[in-house]
Structure 1
Amino acid sequence: MVHIIERTTQAARQRLSSVLVAPAPRAVDEAWRRFSRRWPTTDLATPPEGSGLRAVRGDYGPPVVGHLLDYIRFGTEFGRERYDRYGPVTWMGAFGTRVAVVAGPEATQRVFTNADKAFSQAGWQFLIDRFFHRGLMLLDFDEHKMHRRIMQHAFTRDRLAGYTHQISPRVRATIPNWPTQRPVRLYWLLKRLTLDIATQVFMGGRGGSTDTERINQAFVATVRAASALVRAPLPGTRWRAGVRGRRVLEDYFAQHLPAARASTGEDLFAALCQATTPEGEHFSDDDVINHMIFLMMAAHDTATITTTAAAYYLATHPDWQDRARQESLALGDAPLDIDALDNLDTLDRVIKEALRLLAPVPLVMRKTVTDTDILGHYLPADTLVALAPAINHYVPEYWTDPDTFDPDRFAPHRREDHRHRFAWLPFGGGVHKCIGMHFGTLEVKTILHEMLRTTHWTIPHGYHIRWDNTSLPVPSDGLPVHLNPL
């Protein structure tokens, strides 16, 4: 099955990403960077006369595509260069429109706190509504508040403890069966595992193993469609693949909905079906399906990315791998419960640092619903806004040697993440902060803990990872590692 997954996913990724993210000579990268800087700087919009506001400066980039290909190629590195050149509020072209880009803790705070309700989730709707329609992240204001209140009943401490109890046996049964005689592409092994976990924890085991690969491909298609250059369901396009993937997911959850409604199980599907506020608010069938599609995507994609990043940094820093392993081995062979996972301090710091260096969701979308400003820069109504919290993770005013892997920056005596409330934002911020962040952290810890207990892993000599930013960041080559049994 692993070989099938690797062949399928690699074939699906060969088109645009093979050109945009494949390793290239340094001269090619430098030529690309020079090309991305050649466009004339202009104003996003003219501030109202007498307002005292400044225009947002930036450039569109190449015609039609704008700077989308630059972002796919260089990701946060591209954003950091723009931040240094233009400051915390700038604009660029992408998707055939102008997009304001906001970065830095102060500017981010202005948008996430949203005191004047000038910023809506319509930015996400522009990108992904066709594929993740009415997921929690796409809802606004009072409606979002109501849905979040209901959903919180599925993420209580007791529920999380129950989910953890289900995760640990699946992880322990899977990782020892990973190949050790040859290098493997770790990302794809982890993606299969996190989808298996989501199927168990979220679906209560509903849906057999024959569904797993079909559902996995549907999720991959829907996520990658969000950044499609051609945003119409034409044959051979990512957009069309995403539309078909959405249909597969709707049918899948609708098929299993009656059983989830009748269930008293501890899975998330049943929890969403049964969740009710004291006022009697509950989810309709359509609500449950929409939320399940979004939550399963977010849960297994972000957990896979975070675990992959942490594993990569542990491979490049074997001293930290050994340090984390000693802590895990000291806990013995018993499966971990939620309290034991909370006490894996070294692994906690490693995961936080991996999230800093590679935010699994590097951009957060909004749209202005009225004229407003950010740090004195004028943004007219109906402006697409991309927050870039991943850039905040590298601002040197808040982070010591920000390009260095240093988990101890999260140690109690340093806590560099406390230097500003919006300096470290791997889970977003404000009222839309990720509702599943504690579940995700517990899942990543469980997987890495089991890897540390059973293997020591290495990467090829001189290897440096390149992230494909076509949608969420994933390693362009799947991250080759050699798992050595302890």
Structure 2
Amino acid sequence: MSVMETTTSRFGDMPGDAGPPVIGYTKQFVDGTLTTSRDRFERDGPVTWLKAMGRSWVMAMGPDACGEVLQNRDRAFDSGPGWGLLIGRFFRRGLMLLDGAEHHSHRRLMQEAFTSHRLAGYLEPLNETVTAGLAAWPRDGALDFYPTVKQLTLDVATRTFMGEQTGVEADRLNRAFVDCVRAGTAFVRFPVPGLRWSRGLHGRAVLEDYLRPRIARKRAGDGTDLFSALCHTEVEGERFTDADVLNHMIFLLMAAHDTSTITLTTMAYHLAKHPEWQDRARAESEALGTDAVAYDDLERLEVLDQVMKESLRLVVPVPGLSRYTSKDTTLQGYPVPAGTYIATNLYSVHRYHEWWPDPDRFDPGRFSPQRREDKVHRYAFMPFGNGVHKCIGMYFGGMEIKAVMHQLLLKYRLEVPDGYTMPLDWTSLPRPSDRLPLTLHRL
């Protein structure tokens, strides 16, 4: 019996195909074109099967199918083993890789580090780090925005989350995070020196060596940073072990600076390309009358909020979420047997033409009070996921992005050449393949 026949029998009459012999759609899975292509959605509909990475996958596309997986009302779609296949060796036992009662317990403890009171306390060191970082940028001229802002967000994460600055170790830590993330889509998944998987394992070791010696000091101290909060938080007698703190810190530091970097990069590109929106956002920041935002100022940056949400829609920082079926279930009426990997495609949700008119156009007004296109369907807009695994740091991320953009817009005008389009590399997480060259003009 052929591979196609065997796989088809597992999924009943679900549309799909195995792709090229042996490798299936692995290349497209690795380079991100499987995520960003709309051909499969238009041809097969919201649920389809395929072969990639030597395994059968079911891909959920569009708001209804993705919402059904992420809401997980049948408790059949597990996050841990879904992500474990891809990044488990590098971000093991991070919150995203836990399920059930264990996930609930860890999330309840971690939530204490993300209360509104804690967030307000993080804002002062965050603002100070942004001010110092921007002071080192050129007054005028060319700037490769993506690597520069990535360094800034790593500095923000380490200062805010750890209460310290990385200094000379910054480049080594940044490389370690990049290698861990990109190893998730490695084709060769054993440690061949020089290849992605091996670099990811080395990156994980670098991060452990950096963080582990600091745990005892954080437990003994009375710091207000997130690292200290994880070391001291106790709910109904439960506390994190040292191993828990280490795993959660590695995952949070990665998630905090990578996703913020992607969103800030997308916002800077669109604001440079659409100066009318840049002028509106700058005027709003100027009206606050302060060089650095206070916590109560954040909700007043309405234009910047619309630009941020539209940027998240167009380039969702984590465009696909992985799950694994722990039991036989169904998805949009199709049978899905236990032991199936699920690829939940958020890119397709945010480009779904039935809910988003002219979906490829940058139009922050979609999120204005008069339009609110994100409310036409309960799952039309999910940049932070949905269900019990919805991103725990979403409010911190929004705060950081607005704080950075507020200071940036007060200091600089951003420009790109006429006709320029940012080329995106969707391998692992999206990033500009040309590092996004901007021209800065000091105001």
Report the equivalent of 1:56: 14
Is the CA contact 1:65–1:229 (under 8 Å) kept in the aligned structure 2?
no
Q: Which of 63, 67, 73 is the matching residue for 1:109?
A: 67
Secondary structure (helix, strand or coil) at the match of 1:57 reads coil
Q: Which of 282, 291, 304 is the matching residue for 2:261?
A: 304
Q: 1:74 to 1:382 in 2, by over 3 A?
A: closer
Report the equivalent of 1:339: 296
Q: Per-residue deviation at 1:105?
A: 1.3
Which whole-Å CA distance do the structure 2 matches of 1:216 and 1:432 have between them? 26
Report the equivalent of 2:85: 126
Tell me how many residue pairs correspond in the alignment.
441
Matched ranges for 1:426-437 at <5 A: 426-437=383-394
Could you tell me the TM-score, scaled by structure 1's length? 0.87
Which whole-Å CA distance do the structure 2 matches of 1:168 and 1:365 have between them? 34
Report the equivalent of 1:421: 378
Query: Residue type matched to 1:270 in 2?
Result: S
Q: Per-residue deviation at 1:203?
A: 0.7
Q: 1:119 to 1:273 in 2, by over 3 A?
A: same
Secondary structure (helix, strand or coil) at the match of 1:235 reads coil
Which whole-Å CA distance do the structure 1 matches of 2:166 and 2:361 have between them? 43
Is the CA contact 1:390–1:425 (under 8 Å) kept in the aligned structure 2?
no
Q: Per-residue deviation at 1:320?
A: 0.4
Q: Per-residue deviation at 1:208?
A: 4.3
Gaps of 5+ in 1: 1-39
Is the CA contact 1:131–1:243 (under 8 Å) kept in the aligned structure 2?
yes
Query: Residue type matched to 2:160 in 1?
Result: V
Q: Per-residue deviation at 1:400?
A: 1.7
Is the CA contact 1:43–1:56 (under 8 Å) kept in the aligned structure 2?
no
Report the equivalent of 1:211: 169
1:19-76 CA-to-partner distances (Å, cap 9, x unmatched) read xxxxxxxxxxxxxxxxxxxxx995674568xxxx852221233344432433555647
Is the CA contact 1:45–1:55 (under 8 Å) kept in the aligned structure 2?
no
Report the equivalent of 2:135: 176
Query: Residue type matched to 2:258 in 1?
Result: D
Say yes or no: does 1:88 pair with 2:63.
no
1:83-129 CA-to-partner distances (Å, cap 9, x unmatched) read 11111001222212221110111111211121221111211011101
Which whole-Å CA distance do the structure 1 matches of 2:294 and 2:34 have between them? 35
Q: Which of 256, 276, 299 is the matching residue for 2:234?
A: 276
Which whole-Å CA distance do the structure 2 matches of 1:402 and 1:44 have between them? 37
Which whole-Å CA distance do the structure 2 matches of 1:304 and 1:65 have between them? 33
Matched ranges for 1:361-372 at <5 A: 361-372=318-329
Query: Residue type matched to 1:401 in 2?
Result: D
Q: Which of 52, 55, 60 is the matching residue for 1:97?
A: 55
Say yes or no: does 1:318 pair with 2:275.
yes
Is the CA contact 1:176–1:454 (under 8 Å) kept in the aligned structure 2?
no
Matched ranges for 1:443-482 at <5 A: 443-482=400-439
Which whole-Å CA distance do the structure 2 matches of 1:412 and 1:76 have between them? 34
Matched ranges for 1:119-198 at <5 A: 119-121=77-79, 122-198=81-157
Q: 1:170 to 1:63 in 2, by over 3 A?
A: same
Secondary structure (helix, strand or coil) at the match of 1:211 reads helix
Which whole-Å CA distance do the structure 1 matches of 2:432 and 2:168 have between them? 26
Which whole-Å CA distance do the structure 1 matches of 2:86 and 2:19 have between them? 20
Is the CA contact 2:292–2:407 (under 8 Å) kept in the aligned structure 1?
no
Is the CA contact 1:409–1:416 (under 8 Å) kept in the aligned structure 2?
yes
Secondary structure (helix, strand or coil) at the match of 1:404 reads coil
Q: 1:468 to 1:46 in 2, by over 3 A?
A: closer
Is the CA contact 1:43–1:57 (under 8 Å) kept in the aligned structure 2?
no
Could you tell me the TM-score, scaled by structure 2's length? 0.96
Q: 1:249 to 1:406 in 2, by over 3 A?
A: same
Secondary structure (helix, strand or coil) at the match of 2:288 reads coil
Of residues 109-118 and 189-198 in structure 1, the stretch that sits farther from structure 2 once superposed is 109-118
Query: Residue type matched to 2:426 in 1?
Result: N
Is the CA contact 2:292–2:403 (under 8 Å) kept in the aligned structure 1?
no
Which whole-Å CA distance do the structure 1 matches of 2:300 and 2:5 have between them? 50
1:136-170 CA-to-partner distances (Å, cap 9, x unmatched) read 00001110000000000000000000111211111
Q: 1:173 to 1:225 in 2, by over 3 A?
A: same
Is the CA contact 2:328–2:338 (under 8 Å) kept in the aligned structure 1?
yes
Which whole-Å CA distance do the structure 2 matches of 1:43 and 1:448 have between them? 53
Which whole-Å CA distance do the structure 2 matches of 1:64 and 1:46 have between them? 16
Secondary structure (helix, strand or coil) at the match of 1:182 reads strand
Identity of aligned residues (%): 49
Which whole-Å CA distance do the structure 2 matches of 1:354 and 1:76 have between them? 21
Is the CA contact 1:58–1:92 (under 8 Å) kept in the aligned structure 2?
yes
Query: Residue type matched to 1:463 in 2?
Result: Y
Which whole-Å CA distance do the structure 2 matches of 1:378 and 1:159 have between them? 44
Is the CA contact 1:365–1:387 (under 8 Å) kept in the aligned structure 2?
yes
Q: Which of 248, 256, 278 is the matching residue for 1:291?
A: 248
